[in-house]
Amino acid sequence: MKRGLIVINDKQSSVRYKVLPDTWQVKLNEGGAKFTAEGKGQDKDGNTFQVVLRGEIFRGTTRGSIYTVKGTFSGATENYDLLFLALEKEITHQS
């Protein structure tokens, strides 16, 4: 993972968490039909949070693949269960 942003909408406000790329491990399986990802996010005050995601392809489109993603987001002060759709444009494999 090179970069990312996690945005959580809670009680009519959005909170942004910067993804810390060096902490992330992403594993693809079943030819890219499923993935697991784990790493850390950080808020504007420097607090870090553990993020665990599991995704499965929902549908292919001409612009990429849509995944259903379930996961958890946890830290000292906040804990969330996550469920969302994600559009993947290109997955590249690195050795």
Q: How many domains does the chain have?
A: 1
In this structure, are residues 23 and 40 in contact, taking their beta carbons and an 8 Å threshold?
yes
pTM value > 0.85: no
pLDDT per position as a tens digit, 5-33: 888 887 788 889 999 999 999 998 878 78
Indicate whether 95 belongs to any domain: no
Indicate whether 94 belongs to any domain: no
- Residue with the bigger pLDDT between 25 and 95: it is 25
pLDDT per position as a tens digit, 67-94: 999 999 999 888 989 999 888 876 555 5
Indicate whether 23 belongs to any domain: yes
Please report the pLDDT score of residue 94 as a whole number: 54
Indicate whether 43 belongs to any domain: yes
Query: Residue with structure tokens 């594993």?
Result: 27
- Residue with the bigger pLDDT between 11 and 51: it is 51
Indicate whether 93 belongs to any domain: no
**Among 31, 38, 40, 27, residue whose Cα is nearest residue 65:** 31
C-alpha distances out from residue 94 to 1, 4, 26, 61, 69, Å: 10, 18, 11, 24, 22
Q: Note down the domain range covering 42.
A: 5-88
